[in-house]
Structure 1
Amino acid sequence: MSDIIVQNLLSPVVLFFVLGIIAALVKSDLKFPSGLSEALSIYLLIAIGIKGGIELSHYSIESVIQPIIGALFLGIAIPVLTLLITRLMKMDLKNSIGLAATFGSVSIVTYGAAISFIEKNGVSYEGFMNALVVLMESPAILVSLLLLKIIEKKKDESALSMRNTGIISKPASLIDKEVIRESLFGKSVLLLLGSLVIGLILGERAVPMVKPLFMDLYSSVLILFLLSMGITAGQRLPEVKKHGLKLLLFGVLTPILFGGLGVLTGHLAGLSLGGVTLLGVLAGSASYIAAPAALKASVPEANPSVYLGVALGVTFPFNLIIGIPIYYEMAQWIQ
């Protein structure tokens, strides 16, 4: 286990991420232009999506139905578990929902780093795993916001019955159109899903055109993006410290719990060693793109320094350095 962690630590992807954290902590003037960071994220989303679509074109629906069900199960179960854990921690409802949406959704970059890790170890994986990334991006956001609406509605009904005023309030919709739009058509989901469909339609015919940019250069572009993310993560670390040790432990321990659940689900779905590892990585990761965008619009009372600070300042570095090897070891053990 220690050898795998050391091997992962000495990979270019992780070392450049650490370099970015160091740059932020020592207050270096190193920074990425916002336009470049945006372009790199768009590149990664398209690369993962189109590669997944091309690979998915090789499979029949019968061969992917069990992993799809497993991915949807995780997208529903993880936000519910996160909400229960955070409420036990005595966290307020809005920030609990923020963490539920963030940890229930997935990190595309962590997934990309996990692919580099297992390929470096000579482990193969199912090509349709990239499609599962798309499936796990939105359900957790929708489930978390639905839970918020249900809990708030019950509180309102309880307060109304206690006052016993006889006033009948107009029932509020459980989830508004803006939440659905942001969850299904936000930048990350739209690019992933759109690229996936394009790759699925074109299949191998797309390879000669997309291979030079979106396949051959993928690892190099990932290094640049992780250097940028390292700077951002380093800047978020002080925000997490302000909220105490419990939040720090949450950002480290829950990924292991959810990652283990993902590994078990992948094993029951019949995935290979590589596929089980990747599903564990997805389950143990936390979103800092799609979920925060939806939360900013739908739950403005939730504190970004809580859900984004933990996801980007704690869980993302933990997964990149230690988490991925842990999920790989879990997958080897269960397989």
Structure 2
Amino acid sequence: MSDPIILFFIFGITAGLVRSELRLPSAIYDFLSMTLLLAIGLKGGIELAKQPFLSLAPQIAAVFVMGLLLPLVAFPLLRTAGGFARADAASIAAHYGSVSVGTFAVAIAYMNSIAVSYEEHISLLLVVLEIPAILVGILLARGLSKETQWGSVAHEIFAGKGVILLLGGLSIGWIAGPSGVEPIAPFFFDLFKGILALFLLEMGIITASKISTLRRYGLFIIVFGLAMPLFSALVGGLLGVMLGFSVGGVAMLATLAASASYIAVPAAMRISVPEANPTLSLAASLGVTFPFNILIGIPLYYELALRLHAAMGVSP
């Protein structure tokens, strides 16, 4: 809890709860978001330059399948236990099958702070996990409807700011390689934690703004926002062990699985499922799951990775 990264997030929540006028200018927030996305992409691209892409195909396929299955688990819970309308349940499920880049960035900082290495190409898997949950969410809401604007959806998925920046960073890191990226490393890598701290300050303020929504929609959304990431982390951790990841890699994949999108999926759902209430999805993902993962979840998922490795007799 003494990590300044976490303290910046708590500071943001506190400022939001006391209704302070503190907010980062939108242009600054966009700049921080873009820098984080590019930095994460560059790290993954550098690692890709060190190994054949085809060797990663089984991992990519397995993670893609996980992204398809997680929303299918969440959807019936939201429909039956939560009593949500079909469109709302599908939208929330899609958020929880996709990923949070902010959570992933904090996980990177955490692993670095405890000197635990992980498979750097995990950034590629981050991109992979952005896609399948969106497709499943649309199908759950609409079925194979002719009215679905698949062209617009595909454009939002692959040309949306988040995915295009990650893909751009991956490509640049892959083509340039470690030596080529070295001149820009001080900005993207050395300043990573400082940029992340400012990003989390703003995310804390945004999180505080969702608390009133949680009061309005009841206890279930809080319980779901805490239970679903724990289940997903177990699924991601088990998959990481099966894929032969290191302890750090298992923890990172568990974190990816446990996170919930608040950028790519809301944009895609707005186009394809406009009748879904975005407040519900963001209240769960930003108001509950994001702070839980930042404050408690990431260290918990690292402990899970250690225990899974030990239980399955895999050496760290």
**TM-score over 0.5 for the pair:** yes
Q: Find the counterpart in structure 2 of residue 108 from structure 1.
A: 101
1:257-287 per-residue CA deviation (whole Å, 9 max, x = no partner) reads: 0011000011111110000000000000001
Q: Find the counterpart in structure 1 of residue 314 from structure 2.
A: none
1:145-180 per-residue CA deviation (whole Å, 9 max, x = no partner) reads: 123222xx6xxxxxxxxxxxxxxxxx7266621111
1:259 equivalent to 2:252? Answer no
1:32 equivalent to 2:15? Answer no
1:240 equivalent to 2:214? Answer yes
1:211 equivalent to 2:185? Answer yes
Q: Find the counterpart in structure 2 of residue 48 from structure 1.
A: 40
Structure 2 segments unaligned to the other structure (5+ residues): 310-316
SS at match of 1:28: coil
- Give how far 1:60 is off: 2.1
Amino acid aligned to 1:142: L
Normalized against structure 2, the TM-score is what? 0.94
User: Alpha carbon RMSD of aligned pairs, Å?
Assistant: 1.4
- Give how far 1:186 is off: 0.8
1:209-229 per-residue CA deviation (whole Å, 9 max, x = no partner) reads: 220111111111000000010
Amino acid aligned to 2:114: N
1:75 equivalent to 2:49? Answer no
| Contact 2:240–2:249, Cα closer than 8 Å, also in 1 | yes
Q: 1:139 aligns with which of 111, 132, 137?
A: 132
- Give how far 1:137 is off: 1.0
Q: Find the counterpart in structure 1 of residue 91 from structure 2.
A: 98
Where does 1:157-306 land on structure 2 (aligned, <5 Å)?
172=146, 176-306=150-280
Instruction: State the distance in 2 between where 1:175 and 1:327 align.
Output: 37
Select between 284-293 and 51-60 the one with higher mean Cα deviation: 51-60
| Contact 2:5–2:197, Cα closer than 8 Å, also in 1 | yes
- Give how far 1:206 is off: 2.5
1:59 equivalent to 2:33? Answer no
1:86-127 per-residue CA deviation (whole Å, 9 max, x = no partner) reads: 112221101111111111110001011011111211211011
Amino acid aligned to 2:263: I
Amino acid aligned to 2:18: V
Q: Find the counterpart in structure 2 of residue 326 from structure 1.
A: 300
Instruction: State the distance in 1 between where 2:4 and 2:13 align.
Output: 14
Q: 2:76 aligns with which of 74, 77, 84?
A: 84
SS at match of 1:242: helix
Structure 1 segments unaligned to the other structure (5+ residues): 1-8, 154-170
SS at match of 2:260: coil
Amino acid aligned to 2:15: A
Amino acid aligned to 2:131: S
1:295-334 per-residue CA deviation (whole Å, 9 max, x = no partner) reads: 1122111111100111111100000011111111111001
- Give how far 1:70 is off: 2.4
| Contact 1:259–1:283, Cα closer than 8 Å, also in 2 | yes
Q: Find the counterpart in structure 2 of residue 161 from structure 1.
A: none
Instruction: State the distance in 2 between where 1:323 and 1:121 align.
Output: 15
- Give how far 1:64 is off: 2.1
1:201-254 per-residue CA deviation (whole Å, 9 max, x = no partner) reads: 111232222201111111110000000100000111111221100111000110
Q: Find the counterpart in structure 2 of residue 159 from structure 1.
A: none
| Contact 2:225–2:288, Cα closer than 8 Å, also in 1 | yes
- Give how far 1:63 is off: 3.8
| Contact 1:20–1:229, Cα closer than 8 Å, also in 2 | yes
Instruction: State the distance in 1 between where 2:260 and 2:151 align.
Output: 24
Instruction: State the distance in 2 between where 1:121 and 1:204 align.
Output: 23
Question: Which is greater in Rg?
Answer: 1
| Contact 1:67–1:270, Cα closer than 8 Å, also in 2 | no
| Contact 1:145–1:175, Cα closer than 8 Å, also in 2 | no
| Contact 2:237–2:304, Cα closer than 8 Å, also in 1 | yes
Select between 265-274 and 64-73 the one with higher mean Cα deviation: 64-73
Q: Find the counterpart in structure 2 of residue 130 from structure 1.
A: 123
Normalized against structure 1, the TM-score is what? 0.89
Select between 284-293 and 140-149 the one with higher mean Cα deviation: 140-149
Q: What is the identity percentage for the equivalent residue pairs of Structure 1 and Structure 2?
A: 42
Instruction: State the distance in 1 between where 2:159 and 2:75 align.
Output: 25
Select between 77-86 and 255-264 the one with higher mean Cα deviation: 77-86
